Amino acid sequence: MELSPSPTTSPTYQRAPGYLQRLGLADWLFALLLCVGAGVALARYSSFMDIYEKVILLASVPTFVALGWHFKAVRWLMPLVALLSLWAVSLYDGNLDAAQTKFFLKYMLSSQSAILWMSTLFAFSTVFYLVGLLSRSNFGNSVGSKLCWAAVVLGWTGMMVRWFESYLIGPDVGHIPVSNLYEVFILFAMITAMFYLYYEERYATRQLGAFVMLVIAAAVAFLLWYTVSRDAAGIQPLVPALQSWWMKIHVPANFIGYGTFALAAMVATAYLLKTSGYLADRLPALEVLDDVMYKAISVGFAFFTVATILGALWAADAWGTYWQWDPKETWALIVWLNYAAWLHMRLISGLRGRVAAWWAVGGLLVTTFAFLGVNMFLSGLHSYGKL
C-alpha cells in the first residue's frame, strides 16, 4: 500500500514571493507621491475639470504607479520633470513675457528653450551611440544613453511648461500640447526614446541605440525645419474639431503605436545587417533582436488598436458618425491591418527571420505615410494637421 508522506517527512516547498512582496520602500513611496500629487491637483483644479478629465486624472495614478514599478527609471524621471516644471511655473509668476527676461526661463526652462535642448541632446546622443557601435566603445554607448535620458527629461519638461504657457495666453487657448505637427513630433521623439531606453535596460544592451536614435534624430531634424520654416513653435488656439477631451487620450495612444512601430523597424534593420554579416560581432544576438522587434510591435499594435477605437468614438461625438473613410482614417486602417497581419503570421505561422524583419521595415514606410504623408499630400476632415 502506498502511503502519503506525513507532514513531518514531506519535502519543503518554498513559494516564490509575489509581485507586491518584491516591491521595496522606494516603490511604495513613489506610489504615495503620485497619489498625493493627484489629490492636490484634484483639490486645487477640480473646478476647471469636467467629469471626463477627473476620471483621466484618477485613472492615471494606478497606470503610472504600475509603470514606475515595472520601469524603475520612471520613479526618478517623473519627480524630476515635475520639479523642473514647477520651478518654471514659479518663475513665470503669471507673466508670459518672463520667458524673455528671466535667465533660466530664457535659456533653459521655457518650452522653446527646453525643446531646443532636447533636440541638441538627442543629436549628440545619436553621435555617441554611433561612435560606440563603430568603435566597440562602452564609453560612447554609456554617454549616448545618459544624453538620451537628459533629452527625455528636458523634452517632457518642455511639454509640461508649454501646457502651462498655453493657459497664460488665455484660458480659452489653454490645451494639452498634442494638437499639431510641432507638438506631436516632440511626443513621437519622447515616446520612441523612452521605449528604447526601457528595452536597453531590460536586455542590458546599448548597441541598438545607434539604430533607434537615427529615427529620433530624423524626427528632430524635421521638427527644427518645421519650426524655422513655418514658425510652428507658437501656441495657437485649438480648432473646433480638437476642442474635446478625447484628444487627451486618443493622440498619446496613437503615438505610442507610431513610436514603437518605428523602434521595431530600426531593430529590424539591425537584424538584417547582422544576418548579412555587417556589424555581426557588435550587435546583440538574433534572438534578442527578434524578441525586441516582436514586443515593440505587440505593444504598438495594442495601443494603436485602442487609439483607433477612441478615434471612432471621437468622430461620432464630433461629426455624428464613427467612420467616413477620410484619408487619415483609411491610412490608419491600413497601418492596423499591416501589423495585424504581421502578428497573425508570427503567432499562427511562426513568422521569423529576415522576412519578418523586412516586413517590419516596410511597415515603417506605411506608418510614416499615415503619420506625415497624409498631412502633406491628401486633404480631408483631418486637414487641420497639414504642413
Choose among 154, 274, 137: nearest CA to 211: 274
pLDDT of residue 301: 97
Q: In whole angstroms, what separates CA 56 from the centre of its chain?
A: 18
Q: Which three cell numbers stand for residue 283?
A: 550587435
Q: Which spans in the chain are helix H?
A: 25-45, 51-70, 74-92, 98-101, 103-104, 111-135, 138-169, 181-203, 209-230, 247-275, 286-319, 327-349, 353-368, 374-377
**Which cell numbers in the block locate residue 321?**
458618425
| Residue 164 Cα to chain centre, angstroms | 20
d(CA 249, CA 254): 9
* Alpha carbon separation from 74 to 71, 249, 313 (Å, rounded): 6, 20, 31
> Cβ(297)–Cβ(332) under 8 Å?
no
Nearest to 196 by CA among 293, 278, 323, 59: 293
What pLDDT shows up at residue 23? 83
Residue type, 319: W
pLDDT for the residue numbered 3: 47
* Positions in the chain short of pLDDT 70: 1-19, 378-387
